[in-house]
Each structure stands twice: as C-alpha cells, then as structure tokens.
Structure 1
Amino acid sequence: MEIIVRALHSQGHAIDVVRTNISWYIKDDSPHYKAITVPVLRTFNHDFINPIIQKVIATKRDFSSSISSSFMNFVSLQLEMFKSMSNMHGIMCELVTTMLEDEELMITLKTNNYDLVLTDPALGAGIILAHALKLPLVYNVRWVTSGEGHLAIAPSPLSYIPITRSGLTDKMTFMGRVKNVIFYAIWETQDRFFIRPQYQAVCERFFGSEVRYRHLLQGADLWLMRVDFVFEFPRPTMPNVVYIGGFHCKPAKPLPEHLEEFVQSSGEHGVIIMSLGTFVSELPDDMADEIAATFAKLPQKVIWRYKGKRPATLGNNTLVVDWMPQNDLLGHPKIKLFVAHGGTNGVQEAIYHGVPVVGLPVFFDQFDNLLRLQERGSAKILTLATVDKDDNFLKAIQEVLNDPSYRMNMQRLSRLHRDQPMKPLDTALFWIEFVMRHKGAAHLRTESYRLPWYSYYSVDVVLFLTGAPLFLLLNTVIFIRCLCKAMSKRKVKHE
C-alpha cells in the first residue's frame, strides 16, 4: 500500500492514512501522507501471528501417511485457521467501531472532502468507513474477508477455478472437483458463520439492518487486483477489475557495499537467497539446522534472511541477515535461485527478475502461489513435512540449479509480464485518478450482487419455465379425464 501512497503523493495528491496507535508497519509521520491515529487496545501484529505460525508449522510436520492421522491434522489446522481468522476480524470490528463512535473524528473525516477511500478488503474496516463517509471505494486487492477476491465479484465455476488452499490447478479430475467443492464449502462456512456476522453486527448497529456488509464489500467502484494472467490461471473477470500484478517490482538498485562484496565473492557458482517472509521469523531448531547444513554442502554462496537462533550447522558460505533488499538481490545477475515461502509479493518479484524458485510454503495461499509457478515449469515445491528428510531440500535445489529449463521458463514469464502497454503502477494510478475525476465508476460495476441467490442462478425462472408447462399439461389431463367421465355418464344414461 505504501508504494501506491508514495506514487499518489508524487502526482500531487494529499493522502491521509488511518492507523492504530500500535500499528505494525505504518509510521505516525511521513513526508508522503498524514497519519490519523485511532487508539485501540489490541491489533494485528507479531504477537498475534507468531503463535499461529508456530502451530501451523508443528501441525504440518506431524503429517502422517495414515489417512486418519492426516485427516485429523487437516481438521485441526482448519479449526485453528477459523479461530485465528475470527479473532483477526474481531480486532478489525473493534477498530471501526472505535472510529464510528468517535464523533469528533467522524466530523473531521466528513469535512475533509476526500475524493475516495483506498483500502485492502482482506480486512473490512475500510469498507465500512467508506460507506459511513459516502465516498467512492477503491481496492488494492488479492483477498477479501471471504477468500480470494475474484470469488466475491466474478463468476467462478468450481469446475476449473481452484479454491485457495485446495492445492489444485485449473485442470481437475473428477476427484479434484470434489475436493474443490469441499474447500469452497469450508471457505463459505468460515465466512458465513465466523467472519461476516461480526461485520454485519457493526453495520446494523450504525447503519440499520437494511445495510448488508456483503453488499458493501461487493459494491466497490474499482478492484486493483494484485495478480496478472502470467501468474493467475485464466478465469472470468469483470469490467471494474484492473490487473496490477507486480506493481511493486522495479529494476534493481546497487547493493550495499558489504552485500555486493559477498555476492561477487561467489565467483562462477553464483548466489542463492532465502527468505520465508515477514511472518516466519524463525523455524524449529532442528529444521533450521538441516537447512543450514544443506546450504553448507553447496558451492554457491547463500544469503539467508533469518531472525531465529543461529543454526549450529551454518557453513562459511552462508550469510545470515535480519533484513535484505530482496528486489535488488533478485535483480542481480549472480543470483541463481530464490528459496521462498510463496507470498504474492516475493513470487511477483521472482517473475519480474526471472529467478527460478524452490518453494517452502507455510500457510494460507503460499502453496497455491508456488503451484502456479511449478505448473509453468519455473519452481519446485517442498512441504515442511519433507524438507528435512532424505536430503529432499538438497535434491530440490540441485534440480532447479542444474536443469536449465527452470530458469528458461521463469525468464519467459518475465518477458511476458514486462510486455505491457503501461507499467502496472501507472495503470493503478490512472484508474485511481479516473475514480476521482468521475466520482466513482458505477458504469463498470455490476448490480448482480444485489440479487438473491435464486435470481442470480435463475432458479425461479427455471422453476417457472418447467412449472408452467407442467401445470398446463396437468390441467389439460384433468380436463380430458373430466370430459371423458362426463361423456361416459351420458352414454350410460342414454342406454
């Protein structure tokens, strides 16, 4: 979001950013925006996410070949995700309630004459705030509160649209389609019973029962979707969905001196970089030791972003850092491989710079993101259950390094991604300003979300079209039978 805020500021726009007093990322002072700070008692931060990550890792490592054990692990993981998601959205409902109850704050926001609200609909506070302020709504979106963004707005046939966490592609067998429907039901259950009621309660309290949260979510003017079809499987979409995948990617800048020196020392073998993202700051000690031991066997140099306990098996070829300029490293000509968790940002940066991937997905969409790369021949996926067994990690790295097809396929994706009439960030800026100029984009927005499900799927029409002829046929049969009976009686009398 900060990248879009900086770009809007460079175009001369004034931006106010609503943040909490214990915000994870957002500073209370910046030359690019003015912060509006809302006091809260709890928020979404490392203290909230770390226990979830640790439990997910432990559950995945407990994977068993036994069907019953695997099923129980799956159920345990789903229940943990239900609980975590419910708590997270509860925090967001507390935030927006605090804002709406603050009369002075709301008067200030209403008198500031904003042009629009820009928010990420994975969390619903911005959606409700936009309705309260009666402003056009623009999404910077990959996820909504109920799952992947497309599912909330575009037709999504389950026969070839894989649901997140299903581990499926757009080519499904019969059992794959069964699995896909089951995962869709899981997402719907989570949304209908654990998430949506919390936001709906806020809507009813402040706006009345006629305002439906789901309608507010689906009624945004513009959806800036953080994927493109180099990465995403082909699927139906809508006129107000604009694709800006890779908008945060840019040409590499020179590395800091100490990193450049380390990279150049790799010689002809090159460098591997590894990062499991912001959420996963550390791994179980034995797993970290196995990963470090694997790196020590390689001729390549390794830069590993890791904040956990220093592995005992760390080799001289491995540099462990708290932070690294990931985009700049991926764009360096000596980088041979990216070991990644599969977050959307990292995957898009790997595509932009043409660097093949060995994936270690942890949770949520990460396996699905990596699967899209693996299907295109540019990545190899390992599970946490197998990464430290039978030299699987070493074999995967050597396969991707030694088989030139992985790099060739990723560089092909890079060429496709870059071959666009406008840079994705410029596209995003154009459409945001479009909404500003025209006070919304109602002409691009479908009204289908206001239809009840039986109207959307034309169930009532089908029932009418099948029922009316059947009714007519039944009446005709009854009429003929009555006529026959009447004629039969008349004949008996006559005789």
Structure 2
Amino acid sequence: MESTRRPVLFVSHPESGLLNPLLVLAEEMSRRGVEDLHFATDDNRRDEIEALRDDTPVRFVPLGPVVPEMSAVTWDDETYREVTQRSRFKAHRAVIRHTFSPVARIAKYRALEKAVEEIRPALMVVESMCSYGYELAITKKIPFVLGVPFMPSNVLTSHVPFAKSYTGPGFPVPHSGLPYAMSFAQRIANQLFKFRTLAMFMTRELRERAALDQQIRDDLGVSREAAGFMSRIEHAEMVLCYSVPELDYPFQVPEHMRLVGTMVPPLPQAPDDGGLQDWLSARESVVYMGFGTVTRLTGEQVHALLEVTRRLGDRGTHVLWKLPAEQHHLLPDRGELPDNLRVEKWVPSQLDVLAHPNVRLFFTHAGGNGFHEGLHFGKPLVVRPLWVDCDDQAVRGRDLGVSLTLDRPETIDVDDVLDKLTRVLDEPCFRALAERFSRLLHEAGGRERAADLLLQLPAMRDDREARI
C-alpha cells in the first residue's frame, strides 16, 4: 500500500521580520493536528521552533550558524550606515552589494538539500527572500508555496527595465519610496532607479560576482529554471502574501497569489508579561515606540526621543518604548527618565501590546510585519523609515491616510516628531482609516485562511481524497 505521508517543510532566513509569519503558520498547522511538520532555519532559532507544539510537533531542521552576509543584525556600523542612508538608490545598491554573496549560501543549500533527501517533503513553504529554499524546491521539482511578508507589488515589480513585471512600466519601483501619483520629476526618478540598478550589475565587481554565482549554481546542480527574479513566483504552487489589495497601489495580482492579511497567532500570546498589560490598562493614552530588531539609534537620537516623551507627558500621554538591550547604555540613569516613560529591552509580545485599547498610536520603522500588525489592530502610525521596503510602506500609509512620515528621519528632529505624533493622536481621521483597514485585514482570514489554503493544495491530499 502506498504511504499517505505528507511532510511539510518550512524554510526561512532567521531574521524576525522574515521568519515570524511562517512561525505563526507552522503553529496553526500544528494546532490542526497536521503531522510531519518540519522547520528549517539557522541554529539560533532552535528554541523557538521546538516550542511550536500545539497538537503535533514541529521538528527543527538546523541549517548551520548565521552567515553575516545574510543577516542585517550582524553587519558592522559602516555597513549599517550604508544600507540605511537616505538616498534610496544608494541604500538599495548597498543592500544588494552586501547581500549578493554567492559563496555564503553554499553551506545553506547543501544542508537543506540533505534535509530534503531525508524528509522527502510533499510540500515546502518558503519565505520569499530565501533563495536557496525556492531554488532547491524548483530544482528537485517539489511543490512549494512562497510566503511574502511585504506588499504584493514588492515581489511582482521588476527592479530593472525590459524584464517581466506584473505591474505596469510606471509603477513605483520597490525600495524607491515613490508614490503612485508621481510628478514629472518623480517619474524620471522612477525610471532612472531601474536603469541605475541595471547599470550596477554591469560593473566589473558585480559581473564577476554574477559569474561566480552561476558557477556555484552549476556546481550545486541548481536548475536553470530557478534563475531570474520572477522564477520564485512563476514556479510556486501558490504565493501567500500577508497583506490585502487595498494597502497597495492598484494592479492585477496573478491568479495563484492569495492575500490573506496579517499573520497573527491567538492572543494573548504572552499572558505572563511582567505586569505590562496592567501598566497599559492604568493609562488612558499610550504611544508604543518600537523600531524593529535592525534599527541602531545613536546617543543623540535617543536623547531626542526622550525629549519628545517629556513633551508628550505635558498632554497626559505615556510612552512604551521597546529599546534593544545593546542600546540601553545610551539612556541616562533611571531617575532621570521621564515619568511618563516605560522602557523595555524586549516586550513578550508586540501583538499583545498593539491589541491593547489604550495604545493609540504605533511609532514604527514600518517594516512589512510591523506596518501590517499596527493596522491589523486599528492603530494609526507615525513612521521613521529604516531601509528598503520601509520607505514603500511609509508612502502607502501616508497616501492612504493611516500614517505620517518624519520629515527628517535620519536626525530625529524633536519638533518634527512631536508635530507628527500629536497630529495623528488628535485628528480622528487617522484612527478611523486605520480601523477600516483593520476590518479588511481581519476579513482576509490571516493564519486560518493561510492554513486552509495549504491544506487544499493537491500536495496535501492523500490518494483516496484525490480520487473523490
């Protein structure tokens, strides 16, 4: 009798912004009692994967230590400054130069290939930035689903001219931070962004790197079908995007893309939160300030944000600030902190915080997850964009009326920040529009809809079900 075993293998880079939505989906599959779940990522995420047990276990598949070229949190300060500079094209170029490292992925591909030979997955679910994941799936002809933690246009728009794109020629290029309705100068800048990206790959440095990349692909046995920016889209059984059409600019998505909204687990996610929910409940108006795991603030920027907090206190507004532990040395002594401020090195669940009714505004870098999580809970935003997709989310949020973006994000001007925060807090339209998008994101179905779609794929049906 033929086995009906249907292993599912999730694959992701270890960065929280990329990994977390797949963790939610894997846990939902476990909650439904789906057997034979596996999750492949870097060694530093072992504990989180092994904790994903609701009804059935999710087995951790180690892919080795974090590779510095592939992980923004490990970059030195000079690299960080290059990839977060305010020139959007130069930042885009710096990200490509620092992440396009053919040699760095060899060990990952080999480790995943070994795991695939042992697990023999019926289906792979691969995060969209994880090239070795979808390349292996295409090469081995394993059905795979692509998970996208960005706006849909981010993976459907070409960065270069003359290449296939699911959006029109005048659509804003990803990472450009340009709006849909462009001035003449912006339309020129948009086209130049594409041509400059193409020219970048014609430089000697990147031509040599591309040649090495092809040699490594050949040595690894990667199929030529896996080459190209759109191969991950065209070969996927389904593309799961954690957004809704209304949050992006208008265009026609491919039929196999499903927009399922924000990936949120059942809440409360962390009931034992050290009294944080009680603190929020005791305050009528709270600004939640959190800029993700990659942002590195300077001492001057930290002190500017402390001054903003003091001034917010004059109007009875409190601030909850998630500031990474390695930046706490920039704070003054605890006795010198504003009375209306609570600083945490880590919050047990950002989602629990955003869900609290007393949190009235999310001050964020507008990464893909944070942008959608804030709106999922109906919170308007003030945005200090960090890099790459953050500028794209920021301009869409502004155009949709759910957020304002700092005029000078690189310096954190106190008056600028205070102006944006107070406007979003005081003008009801921001909250009303954020609540509209909250309804749309909830209606899209989130993790439950995503799990339904996975289980409906032919790869997940046994032979008896397929014959019915």
TM-score higher than 0.5 here?
yes
Contact between 1:142 and 1:148, CA under 8 Å: does it hold in 2? no
Amino acid at match of 1:300: T
Q: How does 1:331-480 map to 2 (within 5 A)?
A: 331-385=355-409, 387-389=411-413, 391-420=415-444, 423-437=445-459
Q: Give the structure 1 partner of residue 251 of structure 2.
A: 235
Cα distance, 1:182 vs structure 2: 1.8
Higher Cα Rg, which structure:
1
Cα distance change on mapping 1:52 and 1:404 into 2, 3 Å:
farther
Amino acid at match of 1:291: L
Amino acid at match of 1:180: N
Q: Give the structure 1 partner of residue 220 of structure 2.
A: 206
Cα distance change on mapping 1:226 and 1:398 into 2, 3 Å:
same
Which of 259, 274, 279 in structure 2 is aligned with 1:262? 279
Cα distance change on mapping 1:197 and 1:189 into 2, 3 Å:
farther
Q: Give the structure 2 partner of residue 289 of structure 1.
A: 303
Query: SS state of the match for residue 17, structure 1?
Result: strand
Q: CA RMSD in A?
A: 3.2
Tell me, which stretches of 5 or more residues in structure 2 are unaligned? 1-21, 159-163, 463-468
Q: Give the structure 1 partner of residue 63 of structure 2.
A: 38
Cα distance, 1:251 vs structure 2: 5.4
Q: Distance in 2 between matches of 1:386 and 1:130?
A: 40
Which of 273, 294, 297 in structure 1 is aligned with 2:288? 273
Cα distance, 1:274 vs structure 2: 0.3
Q: Give the structure 2 partner of residue 137 of structure 1.
A: 144
Contact between 1:304 and 1:320, CA under 8 Å: does it hold in 2? yes
Cα distance, 1:132 vs structure 2: 4.2
2:330 is aligned with 1:316: no
Contact between 2:89 and 2:193, CA under 8 Å: does it hold in 1? no
Amino acid at match of 1:170: Y
Which of 26, 33, 41 in structure 2 is aligned with 1:19? 41
Tell me, which stretches of 5 or more residues in structure 1 are unaligned? 61-72, 441-495
Contact between 2:157 and 2:174, CA under 8 Å: does it hold in 1? no
2:105 is aligned with 1:92: yes
Cα distance, 1:76 vs structure 2: 5.0
Moved more, 290-299 or 206-215: 206-215
CA shift digits 1:311-344 (9 cap, x unpaired): 2363111111011222111111111111001011
CA shift digits 1:225-281 (9 cap, x unpaired): 122113111212111111122122665566735213322332x4x11110001112x
2:167 is aligned with 1:156: yes
CA shift digits 1:85-138 (9 cap, x unpaired): 224x642344214555xxxx36xx335332111111212111122134331111
CA shift digits 1:146-186 (9 cap, x unpaired): x9211267521122x21122222222233222211222334
Q: Distance in 2 between matches of 1:334 and 1:234?
A: 33
Query: SS state of the match for residue 320, structure 2?
Result: strand
Which of 69, 77, 83 in structure 1 is aligned with 2:97? 83
Q: Distance in 2 between matches of 1:257 and 1:342?
A: 27
Q: Distance in 1 between matches of 2:266 and 2:363?
A: 20
Cα distance, 1:206 vs structure 2: 3.4
Cα distance change on mapping 1:245 and 1:182 into 2, 3 Å:
farther
Q: Give the structure 2 partner of residue 483 of structure 1.
A: none
Q: Distance in 2 between matches of 1:276 and 1:25?
A: 24
Moved more, 133-142 or 290-299: 133-142
Cα distance, 1:20 vs structure 2: 3.3
Q: Distance in 1 between matches of 2:410 and 2:99?
A: 27
CA shift digits 1:392-436 (9 cap, x unpaired): 11111111111122112211222233344xx12222112222324
Contact between 2:363 and 2:383, CA under 8 Å: does it hold in 1? yes
Cα distance change on mapping 1:401 and 1:38 into 2, 3 Å:
closer
Query: SS state of the match for residue 361, structure 2?
Result: strand
Q: Give the structure 2 partner of residue 449 of structure 1.
A: none
CA shift digits 1:21-55 (9 cap, x unpaired): 45588556754311222345835446524536741
Amino acid at match of 1:329: V
Amino acid at match of 1:8: M
Cα distance, 1:139 vs structure 2: 0.6
Q: Give the structure 2 partner of residue 176 of structure 1.
A: 186
Cα distance change on mapping 1:47 and 1:208 into 2, 3 Å:
closer
Q: Distance in 2 between matches of 1:376 and 1:76?
A: 27
Cα distance change on mapping 1:250 and 1:319 into 2, 3 Å:
same
Contact between 1:359 and 1:380, CA under 8 Å: does it hold in 2? yes
Contact between 1:115 and 1:436, CA under 8 Å: does it hold in 2? no
Contact between 1:196 and 1:213, CA under 8 Å: does it hold in 2? no
Amino acid at match of 2:289: M
Cα distance change on mapping 1:353 and 1:96 into 2, 3 Å:
same
Query: SS state of the match for residue 408, structure 1?
Result: helix
After superposing on structure 2, the runs of 4+ consecutive aligned residues of structure 1 that deviate more than 6 Å are none
Contact between 1:358 and 1:400, CA under 8 Å: does it hold in 2? yes
Which of 121, 124, 139 in structure 2 is aligned with 1:114? 121
| Aligned residue pair count | 413
Query: SS state of the match for residue 391, structure 2?
Result: helix
Amino acid at match of 1:241: M
Q: Distance in 2 between matches of 1:199 and 1:26?
A: 32
CA shift digits 1:294-313 (9 cap, x unpaired): 10111211110002124236
Contact between 2:149 and 2:369, CA under 8 Å: does it hold in 1? no
Cα distance, 1:391 vs structure 2: 1.2
Q: Give the structure 1 partner of residue 13 of structure 2.
A: none
Q: Distance in 1 between matches of 2:281 and 2:379?
A: 18
Amino acid at match of 1:398: T
Moved more, 170-179 or 296-305: 170-179
- TM-score, normalised relative to structure 2: 0.78
Greater relative contact order (Cα < 8 A, sep 6+): 2
Cα distance, 1:288 vs structure 2: 0.5
Query: SS state of the match for residue 292, structure 1?
Result: helix
Contact between 1:154 and 1:237, CA under 8 Å: does it hold in 2? no
Q: Distance in 2 between matches of 1:352 and 1:275?
A: 16
Contact between 2:135 and 2:226, CA under 8 Å: does it hold in 1? no
Q: Distance in 2 between matches of 1:265 and 1:427?
A: 35
Cα distance change on mapping 1:389 and 1:405 into 2, 3 Å:
same
